[in-house]
Amino acid sequence: MSLEFTSSEMMSVTAARALTNDMTCFVGIGLPSEAANLARLTHAPDVTLIYESGTLQTKPDVLPLSIGDGELCESALTTVSVPEMFRYWLQGGHISVGFLGTAQIDRFANLNTTLIGDYREPKVRLPGGGGAPEIATNAKEVFITVKHSRRTFVKDVDFVTTVGFGRDGKARDNVPNIGRGPTVVITDLCSLKPDPETKELVVISLHPNVTREDVIEATGWDIRFADQLETTPAPTAEELEVLRALKARTHSHHSGQQ
Query: Is 9 assigned a catalytic role?
Result: no
Please choose, out of 13-21, 116-124, 222-230, 238-246, the segment that lies near other proteins by the rule CB under 8 A. 116-124
Of the candidates 195, 93, 108, the residue with the CA atom closest to the CA atom of residue 140: 93
Binding mask 195-214 for other proteins (x = CB under 8 A): --------------------
Residues that contact other proteins, how many (by CB under 8 A): 62
Q: Which of 29, 37, 16, 7 is nearest to 247 (CA)?
A: 37
Say whether residue 90 binds other proteins (CB under 8 A): yes
The torsion of the CA quartet 254, 247, 230, 167, rounded to 10 degrees, works out to 10
**Dihedral sign (CA 15, 67, 64, 80):** positive
Q: Between 21 and 252, whose beta carbon lies closer to other proteins?
A: 252
Among 7, 94, 122, 140, binds other proteins (CB under 8 A): 122
Q: Please tell me whether residue 155 binds other proteins under the rule CB under 8 A.
A: no
Q: Which is nearer to other proteins, 112 or 232 (CB)?
A: 112
Contacts of 44 (CB under 8 A, 6+ apart): 16, 19, 20, 21, 23
Nearer to other proteins, 72 or 242 (CB): 72
Does residue number 88 form part of the binding site for other proteins (CB under 8 A)?
A: no
Is position 161 an interface residue for other proteins (rule: CB under 8 A)?
yes
109 touches other proteins by CB under 8 A: no
Nearest partner of 195 among 101, 107, 96, 111, judged by Cα: 107
Please tell me whether residue 126 adopts helix, strand or coil conformation. Answer: coil
CA distance 37 to 90: 20
**Minimum CB–partner distance for residue 140 and other proteins (Å):** 14
Pick one of 95, 105, 163, 218: the residue that binds other proteins (CB under 8 A). 163
Main-chain phi, psi angles of 66, to 5 degrees:
-115, 165
- Candidates 19, 23, 27, 29; binder of other proteins (CB under 8 A) is 29
Positions marked active-site: 52
